[in-house]
C-alpha cells in the first residue's frame, strides 16, 4: 500500500480510505476499512469515464456480473455504487502482493496456484462472466504455500473499453 495522494478521498461510500493499492486505466484502487474495521479494496472510476453514460451503464452491468461470481478464489463484491460520484466497487481485500510481484514461485506453490486459478476461472465462467483482464497483476497468491487456497483473482468483471468484436 502507498500513502494517499493529495486529492484522494478520505472516504468512499461508507469506507474510510487508508491508502492507495494501485491505479489503472479505469481508476484508482484504495485500501479502506469498514466501520467494524474489516479491510476492503475500493475501486473508484475516473471522472472522464464516469461522465460517459454508456460507461456508467457498462459499469452497472460489470457490478451485477461481479456479484454473481462465487467461489473461494475470487475477491467477493462487498458493496458498490455505480451511480455514485465517483462510481465505485468494494471487494474483500486480499492481502499480499500480486503474482507479478511474487514470481518466480517454487514448483509446489506454482501447482497450488494453478489449481486455484483454474477453480477461480471455473467460478467466473459458471456465473456467465468472461474475465478480460486476467494478468499477473490481477492474480494474488495470498495464502501460505501449505494452504489449499492459494490465489484470488481481482476484478472478475470485464474490462473497459470492450475489446473489438465483444460489444
List, for residues 31-67, the tens digit of each pLDDT value: 999 999 999 999 999 999 999 999 999 899 888 888 8
Whether residue 135 is annotated as binding a ligand: the answer is: no
Per-residue exposure over 131-163, b if at least 16 CB sit within 10 Å of its own CB, e if not: bebbeeebbbbbbeeeeeebbbbbbbbbbbeee
pTM of structure: 0.80
- Architecture of the domain whose range is 11-153: Orthogonal Bundle (1.10)
Using CA atoms, how far apart are residues 142 and 131, in angstroms rounded to an integer? Answer: 20
Q: How confident is the model at residue 158 (pLDDT cuts 50, 70, 90)?
A: very low
Using CA atoms, how far apart are residues 89 and 87, in angstroms rounded to an integer? Answer: 7
Active-site annotation holds for 133: yes
Which residues pair with residue 2 across a beta bridge?
Answer: 20
Amino acid at each position: 500500500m502507498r500513502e494517499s495522494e493529495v486529492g484522494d478521498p478520505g472516504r468512499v461510500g461508507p469506507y474510510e480510505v487508508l491508502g492507495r493499492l494501485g491505479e489503472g486505466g479505469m481508476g484508482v484502487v484504495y485500501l479502506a476499512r469498514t466501520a467494524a474495521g474489516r479491510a476492503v479494496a475500493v475501486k473508484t472510476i475516473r471522472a472522464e469515464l464516469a461522465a460517459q453514460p454508456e460507461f456508467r451503464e457498462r459499469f452497472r452491468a460489470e457490478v451485477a456480473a461481479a456479484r454473481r461470481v462465487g467461489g473461494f478464489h475470487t475477491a467477493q463484491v462487498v458493496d458498490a455504487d455505480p451511480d455514485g460520484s465517483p462510481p465505485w466497487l468494494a471487494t474483500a481485500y486480499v492481502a499480499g502482493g500480486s503474482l507479478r510481484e511474487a514470481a518466480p514461485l517454487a514448483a509446489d506453490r506454482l501447482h497450488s496456484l494453478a489449481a486455484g486459478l483454474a477453480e477461480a476461472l471455473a467460478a467466473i465462467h459458471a456465473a456467465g462472466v468472461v474475465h478480460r483482464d486476467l494478468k499477473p497483476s490481477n492474480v494474488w497468491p495470498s495464502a501460505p504455500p501449505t494452504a489449499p487456497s492459494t490465489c484470488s483473482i481481482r476484478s472478475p468483471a470485464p474490462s473497459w473499453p470492450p475489446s473489438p468484436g465483444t460489444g
